[in-house]
Amino acid sequence: MRGTTVGAVALAVAGTLALTGCKNGNEEVAPAPPSQSAGAGAPSAASSAPASPSAGGSEAPAGAAGTAKSGQAFKLGETATVPFDYGNNKGGTIALTVTTVEQGNPSDLDSLNLGDKVKGMIPYYVRYTVKNVGTTDLAYSSVGHIKGLLPDGSEAQGVSVIGKFEKCKDDSLPKGFTNGQSQAGCAIALAPSAQTKVVGAQYWGNPYNSLSNGKPLTWK
């Protein structure tokens, strides 16, 4: 979907309010990547913190030694090493860092033509980086599975954009995404009102979800 204009969006909270169309990496279903070549500024609501993981859950997910434990909690700016599969790209390992959670303006959403569906809501941009620290080429993979968190620990409503949204780019990983390569990403999270902020984020990709008897990783 690179280089296209925004064509449609999908609002989702626990699987509700979804429009059909292509996925942008924030969805659970992940198609196999192609075997041939394929294809500013909002005020800060949270700042990054120095990296040094803090203990969270006690269950260790499947993966190499040193990977984040199920339910482990991190501060913004800290890095979690997680096992990662996408389509035919199996056995990968990534270093995932949620760097900031930035507050946007309601007018940012005007170009998405969501109308009353987002009336009164405030967009936040969960910015993160992905680094390949394994031996698998993760070209054309989409990381996704990142949602905003509200102060009470519940999930913020997300927006999946089909096409480009310059305020919060979420591209698939490029060709040749091998060990040592890194890329920035972004997920949109909606606060229900101006009185409620998005204060953190969670990653619920396998094995950190209920389907794998795991719990999401969190950043605050």
Tens of pLDDT, residue by residue over 130-149, are 999 999 999 999 998 999 99
Contact 218, 149 (CB under 8 A): yes
**Full strand arrangement of the beta sheet holding 146-149:** 73-74, 217-219, 200-203, 146-149
**Number of other residues whose CB lies within 10 A of the CB of residue 91:** 12
* Residue 102 phi, psi dihedral angles, 5° rounding: -105, 135
Tens of pLDDT, residue by residue over 56-112, are 333 434 444 589 999 999 999 999 999 999 999 999 999 999 999 999 999 999 999
pTM for the predicted model, two decimal places: 0.74
* Residue 114 phi, psi dihedral angles, 5° rounding: -90, -15
Query: What is the reported pLDDT for 163?
Result: 82
Does the pLDDT value for residue 192 go beyond 90? yes
187-214 mean pLDDT: 96
User: CA-to-CA distance for 60 and 144, rounded, in angstroms?
Assistant: 21
172-198 mean pLDDT: 97
**Number of other residues whose CB lies within 10 A of the CB of residue 71:** 17
% of residues, the chain, pLDDT over 70: 70
Contact 83, 207 (CB under 8 A): yes
